Structure 1
């Protein structure tokens, strides 16, 4: 049983616990130095995800508007050119 626990943890439980405590203190000091808190990190992450979602779906909305604007010009020109081409009877094909 002890071998399974050590294999899962990557070492003896006491040594892993000491390493986790020391790394937690170091990360806590670093976050304190940057004036960050877990709550601010979570809120910032959520805000970033929401901004990304807004940007992606806002971009899709813009693409649809650009498509419709361009189609209002391109489709009539295409139809006119097809009608004029049918009247010419070009036998190259």
Structure 2
């Protein structure tokens, strides 16, 4: 299973929290915007283009490696990593990359 599929399966379940956690929704939205900016290959189109699957996969692998190196464990709530992984999941599902 690809890293994008793994993250999408694991963190896509958190989308249900958007309905009752507006702060989490806003944080994930900010992470999506940041990822679009970091991974963009074009210049500010009116409609954001989908991220390249290979580039998003490489980013995801690097992010997961960094989490593993620090010994990160998923908390009950929402920390930076949960928001970032949920944003990766959202992008992968939104653009059918997983």
Name the TM-score, length of structure 2 as normaliser. 0.27
**Which structure would you say has the larger RCO, counting Cα contacts within 8 Å and 6 or more residues apart?**
2
Q: Which has the higher helix share?
A: 1
Query: How high is the TM-score relative to the length of structure 1?
Result: 0.29
